[in-house]
Amino acid sequence: MKFFRRPPAQDASPHPKLFGQLFFAALIVGAAIIGAATGLILVYSTDLPQIEQLEQYRPSSITELFDSQGRVVGSFALQRRVIAAYEEYPQVLRDALISIEDKDFYRHWGINIWRIAGAAFRDLESGGKVQGASTLTMQLARNLFLSPDRSFHRKIQEVLLAVQMERRFTKQQIFTMYANQIYLGHGVYGFEAAVEFYFSKPARQLTLEEAALLACLPKSPSYYSPINHPDRALRRRNLVINAMLEDGKLTAAVAADARNKPIRLKLQRGPDSLAPYFVEELRRYLESKYGSDQVHEGGLRVYTSLDMDMQAAANQAVLDGLAAYERRHGWKGHLENVLAENAPLADYQHPDWEEGPRLNGYVHALVTSVSAGHAALKVGRLDAILDQLDAAWTQRKLAEIVKPGDIVYVKLLSLPASGPAHVSLEQDSGAQGALVAIDNSTGEIKAMVGGRDPDESKFNRATQALRQVGSSFKPYVYTAAVDRGATPDDTILDAPVTFQTASGPYTPHNYDEKFEGTITLRRALAQSRNIPALKLAESMGIKTVIDYAHRFGITSNLPAYLPVALGAAEVTLLEQTSAYSVFPNDGVRVMPRYITKVADYDGRVLEETYPEVKDVVSARTARVMTSMLREVVLHGTATAAASMHYPLAGKTGTTNNFTDAWFVGFSPTLTAGVWIGYDQKKSLGPKETGARGALPIWMDFMKTALAGKDPGDFQPTPEVPAAPIVQKVDTADVAPGSDETH
């Protein structure tokens, strides 16, 4: 029998080994990918910051300074940011931001896979790096923890952090952190601060078109700046509105109406610009006590003594007074010209223009064209017209004194809603002015002007400049006499006298080169006679007078020679003004102060100040001196102030060659001092006395500061028995010095 081998049966599916091998290979590749991915995640996550840090999230925030009425008067910050809660951001802003930046914000888990894949594909096609497609959470992670470089490494870390953040925080918390953290141009961080900067109002008052404008900024704050590039900002804003329409956040009619509206900004004028010298004094103090980091990043709340209304009045009074001085001394010219430096007119920018224009403000302007009757000017984005009438004080034709390209100093007389502004021609020859105002009862500094323009000079002439005080020193001489028994009706001889000094004879004179003979002390002070003041000082001893000045709070060095009685001593305006407050305070000196309270970010009080007082002279002496200084206003060198119909007193001061002009005076509630002069101690010009240069500034300020308030009244002068004054003039060790008279 023959056997045959049966052929093997064939498998139902071909090549089983091949499929098994492929499957095995796929498992290996998958495992390798997963391993590689895991490895990459481990590598990129080793140096990731701890997300738990956000539990105590508190970004760098502004230290704000408040005036006595709770109004913001200044701030310090590395990043200008105002922290706001989720509820404080209106729905229209949240809708605008999510529509343009992250449509799926409330649905995704930190990343949007499809957007990332699409962006990556486009980048691969273009040969670029992975970028774009970031969710709000990813943007927040980048802003908080990562560098701005666009690398694959950073992108992976951004994704990992975003996922962690989504697991730990709610969408509202993430949105709030994002809205407070993001940079929005011009030094502004966070949407609350941006709304204040661009529109001068809180975020809750945003309109649709304003919210859409802000929502376009995170993409590129500089490129879409509505200030520098309004055309780009407008196009991007309308793109945001269209995105909101696509998402069903708007109706077609509402969207069309919003797109047709122009960009309207109301830029916030920096609060520091109102009282820059005062704010700078505070900065130095706060940094020395709390450190720079705490001051600029810690979000302190500093409650100051300043009154913004008084400060505004002080600013205006000083600038108007300096303008009046400049006009009295004629046009000097010497204008800078842009064209002479080969700079195009269209590109010119002046530091003054960084602040918005202010009615009655003084700014520098660029002359763009000149005709027979007027000149066209540019003040930032504002056009202005200067007419011949508003330059008449120069006594020259306008075309003779200005030409295209000149930088001129002007006062903004009108700011119409449309059309050019109206200005007057002014002049800045370098004359400076300073003013300090102090509340008598508390010592609080209510206003401080340290110079004409802080952009040109940070030097504070109210606190740092030591200047000869002229006859405003004489009240210390008379105080010493009254405190030792003299009365205002005692008499003294105003006649020629020569003092023998170690350096030779010293023969002083009066301002008018005349002598009045026997006069009362009251008249001698009111008329600022020099000879009586010197005789009184010599009879008591100049060291006695200096001791009284120090008791009043004068800390500057006062050399012990007789001309100091006439003001041949250098004192700061703040010292002199604070010292004068002793008179209306019944002989008590209240130390001047800038701050009432400082609190930290969480509201804990770090320091709180109270009036610090010191007895200087008796109430009787202070009241007698107040009555004598009142006579200066009623019948003396400051009679111009008698027209104000307030109880006022004070003293003028003028130094040799008219280099310094002073007036320091007070009401029952407020003491203010004014100084004008040049930094170089050159002459202000003939007849530029304290009564002419400083007193009008003081009057303008006090009219506003006291308006609508109860001025009170000075305490009645006590009846005191007369006491003789020794008029003997012995040889003294004195030296020649100031012989000013007013």
682 C-beta neighbours (distance < 10 Å), count: 13
Q: Which of 101, 280, 538, 740 is catalytic?
A: 101
C-alpha 156/C-alpha 147 separation (Å) is 13
Q: Is 418 a catalytic residue?
A: no
Indicate the SS3 state at residue 369.
strand
Instruction: Give the DSSP H/E element, type plus range, for residue 40.
Output: helix 16-45
Q: Are 357 and 380 in contact (CB under 8 A)?
A: yes
- Ramachandran region of residue 699, left (φ > 0), alpha (ψ -120 to 50) or beta? alpha
Distance CA 665, CA 651 (A): 6
Nearest to 200 by CA among 307, 356, 34, 361: 356
* 549 sits in which H/E element: helix 542-551
Nearest to 158 by CA among 180, 128, 136, 176: 136
- State both tokens at 433: 């002015």
CA distances from 275 to 318, 409, 489, 587, 728 (A): 13, 21, 44, 30, 50
Identify the residue whose tokens are 């056997």.
3
Distance from C-alpha of 696 to C-alpha of 690, rounded to nearest angstrom: 9
Radius of gyration over every alpha carbon of the chain, rounded to an integer in angstroms:
37
The region that residue 586 occupies, defined by phi over 0 for left and psi between -120 and 50 for alpha, beta otherwise, is left
From 68, 134, 305, 471, active-site residue: 471
CA 161 to chain centre: 40
Question: Which of 142, 266, 260 has the alpha carbon at shortest distance from 212?
Answer: 260
99 catalytic per annotation: no
**Ramachandran class of 187: left when φ > 0, alpha when ψ lies in -120 to 50, beta otherwise:** left
Q: Characterize 298-322 residue by residue with b for buried, 16 or more Cβ atoms within 10 angstroms of its Cβ, and e for exposed.
A: bbbbbbbbbbbbbbebbbbbbbbbb
Residues acting as catalytic residues: 101, 471
